[in-house]
Amino acid sequence: MGLLSKKPTYCSICNKELTHKHKPKREWNIKGRLCGDCHFDKSKEFYEGKVRQACVLCGTTKIISELWEPRWQWDMEGLLCKECFDSKEKSFEVKKKFCAICGTTMGFIRHNPKSKWKIEGQLCRKCWDDKKAELG
Ligand SMILES: [Zn+2]
Ligand SMILES: [Zn+2]
Ligand SMILES: [Zn+2]
């Protein structure tokens, strides 16, 4: 009841109140924390390749080892099948030739936006400078 009492944390799988929090691995796609038992079970499942997950783009279910992690520039959550990964990468390649903000065709000098700017593609010098001034 006091302001100092800590909020209890519960395991994301079994809802047990946690005394020891275990961080799930990124590829498990689980938010929150796990108890020791669930963490152990999940590691085992993934290690044995039993876990299936749907591609976030087309919804095809595959075992996790056949799915791909999206590149950080894509700003996506979840995993992709090979086909979606390839087509995503292709469309991303096309986008890369033009500044993502003003659309100017860029030569060899391109600037990668910082991940916190949440911009897909690359930027010309001018837009990069503008964004830097705006967002830091
Ligand atoms: Zn648990
Ligand atoms: Zn897919
Ligand atoms: Zn630009």
What's the 14 CA to ligand 3 centre distance in angstroms? 49
pTM of the full structure: 0.44
Closest CA to 101 of 88, 115, 90, 111: 111
Kindly report the backbone phi and psi dihedral angles of residue 51, in degrees, each rounded to the nearest multiple of 5, phi listed first: -80, 130
What's the 76 CA to ligand 2 centre distance in angstroms? 13
Chain segment 7-58, per-residue pLDDT in tens: 889 999 999 999 999 999 987 889 999 999 999 999 988 877 777 889 999 9
What's the 97 CA to ligand 2 centre distance in angstroms? 25
Chain segment 71-122, per-residue pLDDT in tens: 987 888 899 999 999 999 888 777 778 898 998 888 778 899 999 999 888 8
What's the 74 CA to ligand 2 centre distance in angstroms? 15
Q: Which residues on adjacent β-strands are paired with residue 11? A: 33
- Residue indicated by tokens 């996790």: 64
| Ligand with an atom nearest the CA of residue 22 | 1
Q: What percent of the chain has pLDDT over 90?
A: 53
Structure tokens, 4: 């100092």
| Ligand with an atom nearest the CA of residue 11 | 1
| Ligand with an atom nearest the CA of residue 105 | 3
**Tell me, what's the pLDDT at 123?**
92
**Tell me, what's the pLDDT at 58?**
96
Q: How many CB atoms lie within 10 A of CB 84?
A: 19
**Tell me, what's the pLDDT at 97?**
82
CA separation for the pair 33, 72 (Å, rounded): 23
Q: Rounded mean pLDDT of the chain? A: 88
Residue 123 and residue 113 in contact, taking contact as beta carbons nearer than 8 Å: yes
CA 115 to chain centroid, in Å, comes to 12
Q: Is residue 4 over pLDDT 80?
A: no
What's the 114 CA to ligand 2 centre distance in angstroms? 27
**Tell me, what's the pLDDT at 5?**
61
